[in-house]
Structure 1
Amino acid sequence: MSIDLLELETNEEILALLSLQIASYQVEAEIIGFRDIPPLKDGIASIREAKKEETFLGYFTCEAEINKLAGAISFSREGTVVTICRMMVHPDYFRRGIARALIQNVIDRQEQQGASRFIVSTGTDNTPAVQLYESFGFTTRRVFTVPPGVSLTTFERPASQ
């Protein structure tokens, strides 16, 4: 297992991320009952564009001596505020601590660089994600509805003292 920066320079690298992202976010779309979520609309061009603002990290497993991208996280930073933009784990790797490891990695590294606050959003009905974020001390900052009646929750947590 390793967590590494995803350069996303080649189409092949971006397609590997997109394959993971689609598999992961299709599960969230089913949970929240809304299939039109933005990560399911991404393509090579939109990931290249996102890379200008977001840092992408990948969680790699080693199977049969081949590194496989099993999870990824992206975040942006404005001043001392870090926003987790994407959190994804391939369904074949659910419940193995991959999301937890990625979030902890971002929190640890960004706190070392002076981050004061972390923000993340997910579908309100995405109970596994809500429970994961709450286990890290994230608390509800706001709940809002987007058409057609889907509820999203934004969570926030201060940096550790």
Structure 2
Amino acid sequence: MNKEEADENDFFKDMLIRDFCKSDLHDLLDVARLSFAPEFELTGFDVDRIKKLVNQAFGPIGRIFLGFSKIFGKERFKFFVAEVNSRVVGGTMVTKHGRIGYISTVMVHPAYRRKGIARRLMESALNYIHKRNMRRAVLHVVSTNVPAKNLYTKLGFKEFEKITYLVSDTDSLSELENIEGVQVRSFQKDDINAVYSLMKSSEDPKHLEILDFKKDDLKTPLITRVFHLFRESRMVALYHNKVIGYVQATYTTANEAGRIINIQVHPKMRGKGVEELLISSAINEIKKKIGVKKILGTASLKRPELIVAMERLGFKKHFELSGMFLETTCLKNM
């Protein structure tokens, strides 16, 4: 064994992958700032909001809620951290969406990269997904992040989609004229069947399959309502009283960008201004409620008409994400 291999072995002896605890927050916020600086420059990062969420989770109500969720197999998320010499130097989170384990915020402090920490975090996340009997692991990674993509590929992940991120200042959005016969209003509970049918007809079938999309996914999760993880504004577009469009926008505080996360328009109505009308209506709603300055939107590269619509409103492309997945049948040998 050479010196480099011996040093690596000693490093792994000192490294611990474990569950996040409240006292990790200071170190973890430092890692997040260093890991996602370009993204935070666009989206904002409200540290006070994060601290409030952690205090809620570790408070009396949070402990009871999360404790019972775990007991009854309803644990919604799991956060792992990497610790070296009593210092948190990395982390990642798994969020349960039905039978899917979504892996996000894989981060390692720059001073500790290329030492196998990201791989160990990913292996812990994948083992958790496997033990919880989830069907597959899914993640998104910035397309230009070659080291991360290489790691995920080595672990068995395969690409299934590409998404572009677009950003706009809310004050620079273009004004729109109404479309004859089209009405936009707030989403109502009675709309859920129509919106579900719309999603099935308008979204990429591969996307729905990989994410195991179900009608219940259109409902706001209980944990979101309990901890106020975010607020949302949902709108539908009607044409002759039939739902032909849907948009979901989320927001947190005025210090962070609002997000347009789901835009659907019936294939026969695309490219006629419905996309712009929905997006503009949702943005105006959250502007009135929270006063956000920036809006971040996502669009699949398979939806060029949606990208064009967003650019007409004043959005500009910033980076692309690759969606990747791994079936749990591939995890048994890990």
User: Are the aligned partners of 1:116 and 1:158 in contact in 2 as well (CA < 8 Å)?
Assistant: yes
**1:55 match:** 78
Give the equivalent residue in structure 2 for 1:87. Answer: 106
> Aligned in 2, Cα 1:35/1:17: closer, same or farther, shift over 3 Å?
closer
- Please tell me whether the aligned partners of residues 15 and 44 of structure 1 are also in contact (alpha carbons under 8 angstroms): no
* Cα shift readout 1:108-145 (whole Å, capped 9, x = no counterpart): 12202212100111111111111111111111111011
> Any idea what SS the aligned residue of 1:83 has?
strand
Q: What SS does structure 2 have at the residue aligned with 1:69?
A: strand
- Identical columns (%): 21
In structure 1, distance between residues paired with 2:52 and 2:149: 28
TM-score in terms of structure 1 length: 0.80
Q: 2:79 is aligned with what amino acid?
A: F
Instruction: Output one character per residue of 1:2-38: Cα deviation in whole Å (capped at 9) or x when no partner.
Output: 1111123xxx532221101111223xx3xxxx66354
Q: Contact 1:18/1:42 (CA < 8 Å) preserved in 2? A: no
Looking at structure 2, the residues matched to 156 and 47 of structure 1 have their Cα atoms a distance apart, in angstroms, of 31
8 Å CA contact 1:54–1:74 kept in 2: the answer is yes
**Cα distance in 2 between the residues matched to 1:84 and 1:47:** 21
Tell me, yes or no, if the aligned pair for 1:14 and 1:44 is still in contact at 8 Å. no
Pick closer, same or farther for the CA change 1:46–1:144 going to 2, 3 Å: same
Q: Structure 1: which amino acid aligns with 2:132? A: Q
For residues 33-112 of structure 1, the aligned pairs below 5 Å read: 36=41, 38=43, 41-46=45-50, 48-49=52-53, 54-62=77-85, 67-112=86-131
Equivalents in 2 of 1:48, 1:54: separation in Å? 17
* Distance change >3 Å, CA 48–CA 108, structure 1 → 2: farther
Instruction: Give the greater-gyration-radius structure (CA).
Output: 2
User: Structure 1: 5+ residue runs without aligned partners?
Assistant: none
Q: Please give the per-residue CA displacement for 1:73-129, whole angstroms capped at 9, x wherever unaligned.
A: 111012221001210000000100000000001111220221210011111111111
CA distance in 2, matches of 1:86, 1:71: 10
Sort the Cα spacing of 1:122 and 1:48 in 2 relative to 1 into closer, same or farther, 3 A.
farther
Tell me, yes or no, if the aligned pair for 1:54 and 1:76 is still in contact at 8 Å: yes
Aligned-partner SS, 2:122 = helix
Q: Which has the higher helix share?
A: 2
* Counterpart code for 2:33: I
Give the alignment of 1:1-161 within 5 angstroms. Answer: 1-8=15-22, 13-26=24-37, 29=38, 36=41, 38=43, 41-46=45-50, 48-49=52-53, 54-62=77-85, 67-147=86-166, 148-149=316-317, 150-159=319-328, 160=330
Give, in whole Å, the separation in 1 of the partners of 2:160 and 2:31: 28
TM-score with structure 2 setting the length: 0.41
Amino acid at match of 1:155: M
Distance 1:155-1:112 versus aligned 2 partners, 3 A rule: same
For residue 45 of structure 1, what is the amino acid of its counterpart? R
Q: For the residues of structure 2 that align with 1:47 and 1:75, how far apart are their CA atoms?
A: 19
How many Å apart are 1:48 and its aligned residue? 4.8
CA RMSD for the aligned pairs?
Answer: 2.2
Q: How many residues align?
A: 147
